Amino acid sequence: MEQKPRDKCFIACNAEDFLSALTSKEDYIIIQKDFKKEFEENTQLPLTKNEQMGYHFGSRGTGALWEALFHLLINSFSKGSKQQKEIDSKIRKYSLTTFNDEEILLYLRQLEY
């Protein structure tokens, strides 16, 4: 994926900013250095493209249905805050890559097509 200029990206400095960006379905979101460590510790990161492809191929396409069901079930019984549960469910629509050493770039998966 090509690098986007910073002015076209939503910059998230805390969980509230990040959740508002996910809710409004921003195309590109940058997680800044201060929030990066908290983000990596608390958030269920989405699968990479290769992991997704292997999972869907191995399950003959039915994996997406089971994945949604299991995610809903696990998310409802997890002990995290309501805000963190919302972040975990909405982040599944995004792909993740490193923008630079101190920042993470998330972009909508639908932009890959």
pLDDT at 83: 84
pLDDT at 93: 86
SS3 label, residue 43:
coil
In a domain? residue 87: yes
pLDDT at 42: 83
pLDDT at 1 over 50: no
In a domain? residue 1: no
Kindly indicate the confidence band of residue 61, based on its pLDDT and cuts at 50, 70 and 90: low
In a domain? residue 55: yes
In a domain? residue 22: yes
* Cα 62 to Cα 72: distance, rounded to the nearest angstrom: 16
Pairwise pLDDT comparison (1 vs 35), residue with the higher score: 35
Report how many domains make up the chain.
1
Among candidates 77, 74, 79, 102, which has minimal Cα distance to 92?
74
pTM: 0.72
| pLDDT tens per residue across span 7-60 | 789 999 999 999 999 999 999 999 988 888 888 888 877 666 666 666 667 667
